[in-house]
Amino acid sequence: MNFKNLNIKKFKIKGFNKKNLIFIIVVGVAIVLAFSGIRTFTKNKKVETKQEIKNVRTQKITSGSISANVEYAGTLKPAKEVAVLPKTGGKVVSVNVNVGDKVTEGQVLYTLDKEESEANLQSQKAGLESAKADLEKTSDSSQAQQISQAEQTYGKAQVEFNNTEDNYNKMQKLYGTGAISKKDLDDAKKQYDNASIDLKSAKDNLDIIENKIGPQSTKSAAARVAQSEAGVSTAQIQLNNATITSPISGIVSEKDVEVGKIASSQSGSVTVIDSSTLTAEITVPDSMIGKIKVGEAVPISINALDNKIVNGVIDTISPAANSKDKCYSVKAKIDNANGDLKAGMFVKVSLQSDTKDNVLSVPNQAIKTENGVNYVYLVENNKIKKVAVNTGISNAKFTEVSGNISQTADIITEGQSILADGEKVNVIK
């Protein structure tokens, strides 16, 4: 509308002056513009509404078995952990490892001062040579040879007995820490028993020979030889004990030794752990203990690794509940060959608490709750249908559902949060 050529003077209406006429024209123009704006807004709104068909994702309802799981918290522990202490006390002269170092079985961890034990060994060897010389003087060559052979056999038997006895004592301690198996302990015991029998047999044989062919002086000399040989063996063991080695392959987790300090059987340890296999230890209530078994695979969530799931296997189940809370100790083994897991990490072990067969289940995110009622959203003819459902057991991914739904229904799993019943939607794959 063009108002530039409008001649207000030509309009002569009774009761209206020029100012009134201008006011009426301005109001009229405003009404026209407002009406035009409303029409434009309404038109745009219709176009906008037409464009707001929401996208959703769907899937078929699952029919089959579903298991409910319960998580139990625990921490990772190494399958083997040994605090290595010296068998005899002494001053530390070298430390060969640091925390974090990888070590192999038999590798030297640290050493003690050997000066005293080396001197003792030399003294025992000298005593042995002297005893042998005395024996030669108290017998003829034939007698001496027979007795010498018997003495050598006895001496070797004594050395073997000392070694197997020392090894058996060591294995008993390792078994007590869980570092070795029962079979390893039994093998060490068998070697010890055999060495004991051999030692007695050698001693009996020596006694028979001495009583048969040698006078009292010969017997005494032979006894001194045997005693000296045992002394040499013991001194050698003491010298060997000054070198402390790792009984297992693994990683040094703690080191409580320093050069110049005194180490003993009570202090001065290096702790070695074998973390190639870790154990997750949890406590399980009486209501769950009958639902699990040794050898059962279990998923384990690692808190420090963004709840990464690793596979574990139940290794042991305590036969009796503890006295504190009447729960049972359960241990699950985890393979850690790649070294990603560390001892001490917080974990959650998921145990299967209940199972149902031939039921309908949906993804957990498909269920929405309003005013205490659970709903799922179906798509029928590209429109939303909101359906109330009853829920049953659930796990980390799925929940059992029942009600006015069927296995053939398309259920919305993504995008239902902003939908209304009957609303038109676009299903995307």
β-strand pairing of 383-394 with 373-380: antiparallel
β-strand pairing of 243-245 with 108-112: antiparallel
299 band by pLDDT with thresholds 50, 70 and 90: very high
Q: For every residue of 271-326, which 3-state class applies, written as one string?
A: EEEEEEEEEEEEEECHHHHCCCCCCCEEEEEEHHHCCEEEEEEEEEECCCCCCCCC
14-51, pLDDT tens digit by residue?
555 555 556 666 666 666 565 555 555 555 544 444 54
123 band by pLDDT with thresholds 50, 70 and 90: confident
**Average of per-residue pLDDT values in the chain:** 83
Q: Helix crossing, 216-240 with 115-137: angle to 10°?
A: 160
Predicted local distance difference test score (pLDDT) of residue 310: 94
Q: Report d(CA 258, CA 10) in Å as an integer.
A: 117
Q: Is the pLDDT of residue 353 over 90?
A: no
Highest mean pLDDT pick, 54-63, 101-110, 179-188, 203-212: 101-110
Q: Is the pLDDT of residue 338 over 80?
A: yes
For every residue of 234-267, DSSP letters joined together read: HHHHHHHTTEEE-SS-EEEEEE---TTSEE-SSS
Report the CATH fold assignment for 70-78+272-354: Elongation Factor Tu (Ef-tu); domain 3 (2.40.30)
Q: Are 314 and 328 in contact (CB under 8 A)?
A: no
Class of domain 55-68+356-428: mainly beta
- Map residue 36 onto helix, strand or coil: helix
Predicted local distance difference test score (pLDDT) of residue 46: 47
* Mean pLDDT computed over 357-383: 90
Predicted local distance difference test score (pLDDT) of residue 117: 82
Predicted local distance difference test score (pLDDT) of residue 118: 83
102 band by pLDDT with thresholds 50, 70 and 90: very high
Q: Is the pLDDT of residue 301 over 60?
A: yes
Predicted local distance difference test score (pLDDT) of residue 39: 56
Better pLDDT: 407 or 308: 308
Q: Is the pLDDT of residue 66 over 60?
A: yes
Predicted local distance difference test score (pLDDT) of residue 60: 87
Q: Report d(CA 329, CA 343) in Å as an integer.
A: 18
Predicted local distance difference test score (pLDDT) of residue 114: 86
Element (H or E) spanning 351, and its range?
A: strand 346-363
134 band by pLDDT with thresholds 50, 70 and 90: confident
* Mean pLDDT computed over 229-240: 86
Neighbouring CB atoms inside 10 A of 230's CB total 18
Kindly list the distances between the CA atom of residue 55 and the CA atoms of 46, 365, 382, 418, 426, in Å, as whole numbers in the listed order: 19, 16, 10, 11, 5
